[in-house]
Chain A
Amino acid sequence: MNTTNRMQKGFVFSFDLMIAFIAVLSASFIAISLISSNIEKQASFIEENELKTHAIFLADSIVKNSDENNSFYGMALFDSEKHRVKSNEISPKFIEKEPPLSGKFFIREISAEFKNGVVKKIFEKNLEGKNCIAIERFVLLEGKKAKLNLAVCSE
């Protein structure tokens, strides 16, 4: 009698525990999968954001600053009479030197598109990047209105 009762309890307890384990493990698996997926999305988003930020500030530096030693940091003209930088007025020469690399980002191309559709290449690097972003800024290039296109890629 007692043995039968113990056996019955043991059977019911094990079955119930088995269901509980399966349910708990399934829920844990779902939770871990979702967390893992979210982390991957976040990482990818942060990397993309970093690239965009880098490109936007680099484009701003090129258009607003003047640096004779390194055109990649500033292509704006300098008015020596008034001792000031003429932002948004650029006069770039075709750059053959390698631009300084900043960590995992590199400049792939700098070009200017005029209103008549003519495109002038200022710098080009034939290298494939993992992700690339193009930023456009409006400038006066040698007195003519143009869109300065800057393509920045991540390695």
Chain B
Amino acid sequence: MNKAFVFSAEAIVALLLIASIAAIPPQKHETNLIELLLLQKENDLLKVWAKEKTSIDEMKSDFEFVFYGKSGKAAINETEAFFGKQNCKKEISSNATYFSLNEKTVLGISVCY
């Protein structure tokens, strides 16, 4: 009787352990795709800004058009424009430099997600 009781208890513990391992939820790897899409959109903006030789006001307008509701930053040389809350946990940044008539312009953009 004692042996039977002990064996059953072990079997129950073992099966509960297997059940708890099986209950571990599947891990989601969605973050990489979100980051990729944000990076692509930032790249789109930088390309268009470089082509149009943009101003900070246009950059502000375009940022809000593409990343409506998101926090981030856009910069042209030393001039910066901020959107939303700045202390974000994760952000993605991209930069581009173009030369025009011996003048160098540095564009930057970062988005929080």
Residue numbers of A with Cβ under 8 A of B are 9, 12-13, 16-17, 19-20, 23-24, 27-28, 30-31, 34-35, 38, 41-42, 45, 49, 52-53, 56, 59-60, 63, 87-89, 115, 135-140, 145, 147
Tell me the residues in window 8-60 of chain B with beta carbons closer than 8 Å to chain A beta carbons: 8, 11-12, 15-16, 18-19, 22-26, 28-30, 33, 36-37, 40-41, 44-45, 47-48, 51
Pair B30/A49 contact, Cβ less than 8 Å? yes
Residue numbers of B with Cβ under 8 A of A are 1, 4-5, 7-8, 11-12, 15-16, 18-19, 22-26, 28-30, 33, 36-37, 40-41, 44-45, 47-48, 51, 61-62, 65-66
Pair B8/A16 contact, Cβ less than 8 Å? yes
When distances are taken between beta carbons in the complex, the residues of chain A under 8 Å from B61 are 115
A89 to B50, CA, bound (A): 13
A20 in contact with B4 given A31-B18, A147-B65 (CB within 8 Å) = yes
Pair B48/A137 contact, Cβ less than 8 Å? no
When distances are taken between beta carbons in the complex, the residues of chain A under 8 Å from B24 are 38
Closest residue of chain A to B1, judged by CB?
Answer: A12
| Majority-rule SS of B interface residues | helix
Q: Which 5 A-B residue pairs are closest in the complex by CB-CB distance? A: A20-B8, A27-B15, A31-B19, A138-B44, A35-B22
Closest residue of chain B to A135, judged by CB?
Answer: B37
Closest residue of chain A to B19, judged by CB?
Answer: A31
| Majority-rule SS of A interface residues | helix
Q: B1 contacts which of A16, A38, A115 (Cβ < 8 Å)?
A: A16
The 21 listed contacts between A and B (C-beta, < 8 Å) are A12-B1, A13-B4, A17-B4, A19-B8, A20-B8, A20-B11, A23-B8, A24-B11, A24-B12, A27-B19, A28-B15, A31-B22, A34-B22, A38-B24, A38-B25, A45-B26, A45-B28, A53-B33, A56-B40, A139-B44, A145-B48
Pair A38/B45 contact, Cβ less than 8 Å? no
